[in-house]
């Protein structure tokens, strides 16, 4: 909880800090990478840095956390903190790295805001930072312990057992630990980080959902090649698609992620778009294997049937459940596809059972649209869960 003097100071200065937070985040990253170039080379996503997405996400999370402290002092934004902590844990973030962030973030705040940063203002925002940082450090410590790893050492070598081309731009890689040890347990919907060495010597990291059920003997990740469309292509997805074959090895983290099924009894709605189907497929396979009996509504949107990765599996897994229905929308459908399933996902014609828990994964506009539709149909906001691939820009909007 923020102290009373700091609460008053943060409340008074939040508009000014919020207005400048984008400039602060931009300067912070420049200072951080000037002092620690290895972080940009081997930890941070260079593509998200180039696009500005990571700066937006940092700005949004700081502003959201500070606002929560002053507007709702008796509660903590645990959903936001959990999502950030899981991502950090998959990267092996250490407590010492929070010290480096603190140094360069507060240097950026002082430079951007100038004389407005009095000792009282600096102390108040320092308290905000360490409340957030220490909360994340504590959550991350528990996450590391649950997986039997330590901060900074979450990586193991995995062997690629096989590779399947799902679509022109999507491939599934099946993996097993290279040392022959058992694969670590995970929950349906979770992801792993994959670290690859690029031609320039950088070791870049990306997160990929596990697209298999926990009971599988091997683990699967399904990777969409990111084509820039005028911007650079995705570095890691291009490397995986062009260079990695059966018999190769990858550095893979322990599994993390908080988009996991919360209730075994509630009706479910599993909604995805594009490559966002991967955690949903893991959930569906698990539900089918565990004999799940409550209603499950499966929703997916894509450009066309040819672009819908693992379309056959998506439909077949839904069909294995005793009380389920699958609805696929395509912007460019094949001949004979129903007219009311053409275009963007539209839930207006679907009956959503009372008490439904919804799980969403896909591009941010898709998830915003589906969430709005679900709220209009009476689904409780607390029962709508989502996963963002990349920086969480929902907070920054």
* pLDDT tens digit sequence for 54-64: 888 888 888 88
Structure token digits, residue 39: 């972080």
Residues paired with 249 in a beta bridge: 159
231 or 335: which leads in pLDDT = 335
Q: pLDDT tens across 289-345, in order?
A: 999 999 999 999 999 999 999 999 999 999 999 999 999 999 999 888 998 999 999
Q: Is the pLDDT of residue 396 over 50?
A: no
Q: Quick one: what percent of the chain has pLDDT higher than 90?
A: 85
How far is Cα 261 from Cα 188, in angstroms, rounded to an integer?
7
User: Is 140 a residue of the active site?
Assistant: yes
**Overall average pLDDT of the 348-362 stretch:** 96
How far is Cα 59 from Cα 26, in angstroms, rounded to an integer?
9
Q: Quick one: what percent of the chain has pLDDT higher than 70?
A: 98
Q: Is the pLDDT of residue 393 over 60?
A: no
Strand 384-387 and strand 357-361: the pairing is parallel
How far is Cα 143 from Cα 151, in angstroms, rounded to an integer?
10
Question: Residue 167 — φ and ψ, nearest 5°?
Answer: -140, -175
Active-site entry in 29, 98, 208, 359: 98
Q: Is the pLDDT of residue 91 over 90?
A: yes
Q: pLDDT tens across 195-226, in order?
A: 999 999 999 999 999 999 998 889 999 999 99
State the pLDDT at residue 397. Answer: 46
State the pLDDT at residue 232. Answer: 78
- Tokens 């969409």 locate to 224
State the pLDDT at residue 395. Answer: 52
User: Is 386 a residue of the active site?
Assistant: no
Q: Is the pLDDT of residue 357 over 90?
A: yes
- Count of residues for the chain? 397
Q: How far is CA 318 from CA 190, 220, 292, in A?
A: 19, 19, 11
How far is Cα 1 from Cα 271, in angstroms, rounded to an integer?
36
Active-site entry in 29, 127, 129, 140: 140
Q: pLDDT tens across 249-268, in order?
A: 999 999 999 999 987 789 99
DSSP string, 100-159: HHHHHHHHHHHHHHGGG--HHHHHHHHHHHHHHHHHHHHHHHHHHHHHT-BTTB-EEEEE
State the pLDDT at residue 105. Answer: 96
391 or 45: which leads in pLDDT = 45
Structure token digits, residue 51: 């696009």
Q: Is the pLDDT of residue 48 over 60?
A: yes
State the pLDDT at residue 394. Answer: 55
**Overall average pLDDT of the 170-184 stretch:** 96
State the pLDDT at residue 158. Answer: 98
């Amino acid at each position: 909880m923020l102290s009373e003097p700091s609460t008053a100071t943060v409340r008074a200065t939040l508009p000014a800090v919020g207005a400048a937070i984008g400039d602060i985040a931009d300067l912070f990253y420049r200072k951080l990478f000037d002092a620690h170039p290895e972080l940009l080379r081997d930890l941070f996503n260079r593509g998200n840095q180039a696009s500005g997405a990571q700066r937006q996400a940092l700005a949004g999370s700081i502003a959201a956390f500070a606002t929560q402290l002053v507007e709702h002092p008796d509660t903590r934004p645990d959903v936001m903190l959990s999502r950030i902590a899981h991502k950090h844990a998959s990267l092996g973030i250490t407590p010492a790295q929070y010290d480096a962030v603190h140094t360069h973030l507060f240097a950026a705040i002082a430079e951007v805001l100038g004389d407005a940063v009095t000792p009282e203002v600096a102390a108040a925002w320092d308290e905000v930072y360490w409340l957030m940082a220490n909360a994340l450090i504590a959550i991350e410590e528990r996450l590391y312990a649950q997986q039997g790893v330590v901060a900074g050492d979450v990586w193991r070598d995995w062997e690629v057992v096989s590779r399947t081309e799902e679509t022109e731009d999507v491939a599934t890689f099946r993996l097993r630990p290279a040392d022959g040890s058992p694969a670590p347990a995970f929950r349906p919907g979770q992801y792993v980080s994959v670290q690859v060495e690029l031609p320039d010597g950088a070791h870049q990291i990306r997160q990929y959902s596990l697209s298999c059920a926990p009971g599988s003997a091997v683990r699967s990740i399904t990777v969409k090649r990111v084509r820039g469309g005028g911007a650079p292509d995705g570095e890691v997805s291009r490397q995986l698609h062009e260079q990695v074959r059966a018999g190769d090895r990858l550095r893979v983290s322990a599994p993390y992620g908080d988009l996991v099924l919360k209730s075994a009894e509630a009706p479910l709605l599993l909604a995805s778009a594009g490559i966002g189907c991967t955690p949903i497929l893991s959930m569906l396979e698990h539900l089918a294997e565990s004999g799940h009996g409550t209603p499950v509504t499966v929703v997916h949107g894509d450009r066309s049937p040819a672009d819908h990765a693992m379309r056959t599996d998506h439909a077949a897994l839904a069909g294995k459940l005793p009380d389920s229905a699958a609805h696929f929308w395509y912007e460019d459908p094949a001949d004979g596809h129903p007219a009311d399933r053409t275009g963007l996902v539209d839930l207006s014609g679907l009956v959503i059972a009372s008490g439904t828990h919804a799980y969403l994964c896909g591009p941010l506009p898709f998830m915003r649209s589906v969430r709005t539709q679900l709220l209009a149909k009476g689904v409780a906001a607390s029962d709508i869960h989502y996963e963002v691939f990349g920086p969480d820009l929902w907070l920054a909007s």
